Structure 1
Amino acid sequence: MAFVTRFFTDLGQWIHEHITKPEMIASIFWIVVKIILIYVVAKICIKIADKTIAHMISARDKSPLKFDRRRTNTIGSLIHNLIAYTINLICIMLILGQVGLNIGPLLAGAGVLGLAIGFGAQSLVKDVITGFFIIFEDQFGVGDVIQIDSFKGTVEEIGIRVTRIKSWTGEVHIIPNGNIKQVTNFSTYNSLAVVDVTIPLHLDIDKATEILKETVKHVQLLTDDIVKEPEVLGVQMVGTTDLKIRIIAECKPTRQFNVTRLLNIEIKKQLNITQIEVL
């Protein structure tokens, strides 16, 4: 108890001798003013950054191009956090400098540590940066069918470090974002189903063409995957004993295989009914 009493007595005496001096009071006052000013400026900078981010998001919403609102908000939050952390770190460093702490050794230590981490984690940094740009540029999204090198499948997950693709046979390919050099996205635009019907050369081409036109109109009524009335382009190739008539149908992205199968089935049925031989 006596120790505690003596401690507070000595502390009070030190404050009386040092803090109560006019020059010390003035010095403390200006230090506090500078700290408050640094804090206020930091908050203002963060507010300005938030308004800029909100304006960018609003501009994307009004753009004639279609953007994923959820992804846009995610990017906005990511940029906000990055700016806020950077400004707050600078603010802390400036405040420490105002209270008399030497931040030189601290910065030097951080630089050495950062250099060591940089050499040991170059691939990690590359993966993270590439992942950020994949998300920011909206190169592909979850559910898209894409091909990266020899891997083709549906995007299961887009992470900051890796992308997961599930092939149609069930395998999941985990690809570091830094290794993604070229991407083919099959889900961006409508796809095209192409069917070639081979018939004997001696048959009536006009009759076969009319039957095919009626058949493809019927097929369009059977599925929502076809976005535009299929076209019978006509004779694609003439051989010595047969010829090929080509049919195309514009479909929803990645649905061309389903439509191709449906067209083949319905065309075969109709040609059998009309007794037109298919080779």
Structure 2
Amino acid sequence: MSEDMEVYATEILDWLKKHILIEAVFWNIISIILIYVGSRILIRITNKLMSHMVIHKSRGPIKFDVRRANTIGKLINNLISYTINFITVLMILGQLGLHLGPLLAGAGVLGLAIGFGAQSLVKDVITGFFIIFEDQFGVGDVIQIDQFKGTVEEIGIRVTRLKSWTGEVHIIPNGNIKQVTNFSVHNSLAVVDVSISYESDVDKATRILKEVMTELYENSDNIMKEPEVLGVQMIGETDLKLRIIVECRPNSQGSVTRIMNAELKRRLDENGIKMRG
């Protein structure tokens, strides 16, 4: 009878151990899922808070430059995301039974070793911070770095993403940025030379140019100041060049120039003034 009781008790203990293990695994899985979902929600909340702060700073009584606010906001979002993801990984590893003390100590030693061999990475990060806080350029600016020209899509802690007007995305390490040309800080200047035949009436051509430019100024949002028709810029053997300068919004000189060329050609043809190529 006692042997039967011992066998029965052993079976009950095995059953309890098995179910306790299953329950522990189940709750570990639930905890991991909750940690992961919570981290995603926290990242979303912080991103929305940063967006709200950027809007508030841009519209509040103490105004903050929108370009710079957007750039710093994206950088802080990246840093927060990296930090939350790192803490999430540590918490998940803890749920899996790994001891975090030795792991963090080993990570510190490994980080020190990597630091000696990753000087270029440190250089990229430091250069990125100086780019942002010196406001050299911001997200949405049109810039040129070496032979790459395009719109800044993102300034990260290590790289800058630049999208060219033909759609290519250039990823440039911040440490490699030596010289930058920013086309979005000040108004641009459109310079158009109109070549007319040597026999044409210069006064009449100049009057037509002024009329056309006045009309374009009144109807275009990209032209910031009254265009100037400077007059005869150069006298050639067979033609005269009349120069026009127009102050435009940043990076709009190309579209303004195309509109000017089309309208000037049409009006000069209507008035019988021949243009030279």
**TM-score above 0.5, yes or no:** yes
C-alpha distance in structure 1 between counterparts of 2:138 and 2:197, whole Å: 46
Give per-residue Cα distances to partners, 1:225-279, cap 9 Å, x unaligned.
1011111011111011111000011000000000000000110111011111111
Is 1:246 paired with 2:268? Answer: no
- Aligned-CA RMSD value: 3.0
Q: Which residue of 1 aligns with 2:188?
A: 191
Give unpaired runs (5+ residues) of structure 2.
Answer: 1-56, 80-104
Segments of structure 1 that go 5 or more residues without pairing to the other structure are 1-56, 80-107
CA distance in 1, matches of 2:161, 2:127: 15
CA 1:164–1:222 in 2, change beyond 3 Å: closer, same or farther?
Answer: same
Give the aligned partner of residue 272 of structure 1: 269
Task: Please tell me whether Structure 1 or Structure 2 has the larger radius of gyration of its CA atoms.
Answer: 1
Aligned to 1:152: 149
> Secondary structure in 2 aligned to 1:270?
helix
CA distance in 1: counterparts of 2:68 and 2:170, whole angstroms: 25
Give the one of 202, 207, 220 matched to 1:205. 202
Query: How many angstroms apart in 2 are the aligned matches of 1:183 and 1:167?
Result: 15
1:227 lines up with 2:195 in the alignment: no
Pair 63,224 (structure 1): closer, same or farther in 2 beyond 3 Å: closer
Q: Which 4+ runs in 1 deviate beyond 6 A?
A: 63-67, 73-79, 108-111
How far the C-alpha of 1:120 sits from its partner, in A, is: 2.0
Q: TM-score, normalised by structure 2?
A: 0.63
Distance in 1 between residues matched to 2:71 and 2:171, nearest whole Å? 21
Q: Which stretch of the first structure deviates more once superposed, 110-119 or 199-208?
A: 110-119
CA distance in 2, matches of 1:250, 1:160: 36
Q: Pick from 159, 175, 185 the counterpart of residue 172 of structure 2.
A: 175
- Partner SS state of residue 278, structure 1: coil
Q: State how far apart, in whole Å, the 2-side matches of 1:64 and 1:261 are.
A: 35
Which residue pairs with 2:28 in the alignment? none
Q: Percentage identity across aligned positions?
A: 67
Q: 1:236, 1:266 → 2: CA distance?
A: 20
Separation in 1 of the partners of 2:77 and 2:152?
Answer: 23
Inter-partner Cα distance in structure 2 for 1:163 and 1:272: 48
User: For residues 112 and 206 of structure 1, what CA distance do their matches in structure 2 show?
Assistant: 80
Count, aligned residues:
196
User: Which residue identity is paired with 1:206?
Assistant: D
Cα distance in 2 for residues equivalent to 1:77 and 1:200? 60
Aligned to 1:12: none
Mapped partners of 2:209, 2:106: distance in 1: 77
Q: Which amino acid aligns with 2:161?
A: R
Cα gap change, 1:74/1:144 in structure 2, threshold over 3 Å: closer, same or farther? closer
Match of 1:125 in 2: 122
Three-state SS of the structure 2 residue aligned to 1:237 is strand
TM-score when normalising by structure 1: 0.62
- The SS at the match of 1:127 is helix
- The residue that corresponds to 1:99 in the other structure is none
